[in-house]
Each structure stands twice: as structure tokens, then as C-alpha cells.
Amino acid sequence: MKKTVIFLCVFSFFLSCKKSDDSGSGAPAPSLSEHYPQTWTLINDASADKYTYLEVNGNNMKRSEIVKTYSLVQLALDNLCSFYVTQTRTEFTHKICYVIQLDRQRKRWLFSGKSSNQQEIHLSTTVGSSEITDPGGDGYRFFVHDLAKINGVKTVALESVEFPGYYISSSSPGFNYSPTQAVLTKASSPEKATPWQCR
């Protein structure tokens, strides 16, 4: 009888460990040792002397540049570029994913949507009615893919849930739009997408 009880305890423990290791039916997920929410300023190495970073510009998201000698702490104070990232689930498949809000105005949510000519995917923002619940739909949700760290800094590729295979990019939009408009571009894998350092 004792052996049966011990076996059941060990078996139950194994199942609970297996269950807690499930990241949501195969959805990409960061390390289980990480805790959310997190606050990120999203930075990309644009060149030898400049960073590209993402910032809020009204209802648009734009790509801006800063010299690498500029304080990133000061950058987050001076510009609307600090984002509050929390874990959630996709609307229909319930896979683990993430929502991104402007840290200083948490009713402002980032989303991916089609451009006005329907030919591109743009990164935009909107003001919702809540700081807790996004305005709704997988356009407001992103998969976070961990990449190799850059100079010891957490680095990710950010994939749209609404538009699978499209990642937040440092690329420019088509000629119809402001050259600084943030876009999502197609990539065959997270490793081939724009790497964003989470500062």
C-alpha cells in the first residue's frame, strides 16, 4: 500500500511539473524563469553610432534614431518610448502571448493592422477604455520570441498574432506613408526578423 501511495505522489508531481511547463499548446514563449509585467524601451542597432527605437506619435508608432552616446534612461524620460508588457492569451487558440501598452499612458495600446491602402501591416496605437483590458482582438497581441542576447541585453523578435509571420520591423514603409512609420514585415523565422533589445 505504501508503494502505491508513493507512486501516486511521484506521478502526480511529475504531471504537475509537466503541466506548468506547458507554454500554451506550442506557442512561442520566453523563459519560464521570467516574470511579467516588464517595462521595455525597444532598441535596434541601426548603425555603428546610432540606435533605432520605437516611440508613440499620436495614434501612430514611429521609428526614431538616437546616437549611442545618449543616455537610454534619459531617452525613456524624454520620449514616449517606454512600454509596459504583460502576458495574456490569444483570442481563439488561448496560446500565451503579450500585450504592449505605453507605460506612462496605460490606456494606450499597441496593435498591428493593415495600412490604409491594405498593402502593408503597420504598427499603431489606440486609446482604449481600460488600463487592464486591451480594446479586443488578436491585433493587440504579440508573440515574444527570445533571441540571442546582444551585449548581455535581452533581445526579442515581436510577431503579430493577427498576422502570423509578420514581425515588428526597423524597415521603412512604402512611399505613400511617412518614412518613419513603424511597420511589420514578413520573415521566415524569428531569427530573420528585426532583433529588438529590451532596455
Give me the torsion for CA of 116, 120, 122, 128, rounded to 10°: 50
Alpha carbon separation from 52 to 87, 93, 146, 149 (Å, rounded): 25, 33, 19, 17
- For residue 9, is it within any domain? no
Closest by CA to 113, choosing from 137, 91, 89, is 137
The tens digit of pLDDT for each residue in 178-198 reads 999 999 999 999 999 999 999
Closest by CA to 151, choosing from 82, 81, 198, 193, is 198
Q: Calculate the average pLDDT of the chain.
A: 88
The tens digit of pLDDT for each residue in 35-84 reads 999 999 999 998 999 999 999 999 999 999 999 999 999 999 999 999 99
Cβ atoms of 165 and 112 within 8 Å: the answer is no
CA quadruple 194, 55, 180, 151: dihedral positive or negative? negative
- For residue 74, is it within any domain? yes
- Counting residues of the chain whose pLDDT is more than 70, the rounded percentage is 83
Residue 30 confidence (pLDDT): 57
In this predicted structure, the answer to whether residue 131 has a pLDDT above a threshold of 60 is: yes
Residue 109 confidence (pLDDT): 98
- For residue 58, is it within any domain? yes
The tens digit of pLDDT for each residue in 79-93 reads 999 999 999 999 999
Residue 5 confidence (pLDDT): 42
- For residue 134, is it within any domain? yes
The number of domains in the chain is 1
- For residue 17, is it within any domain? no
- For residue 15, is it within any domain? no
- For residue 31, is it within any domain? yes
In this predicted structure, the answer to whether residue 141 has a pLDDT above a threshold of 70 is: yes
Rounded Cα gap, residues 11 and 5, in angstroms: 10
Domain that holds residue 92: 25-198
- Check which CATH number belongs to the domain holding 75 and give it: 2.80.10.50
Residue 46 confidence (pLDDT): 86
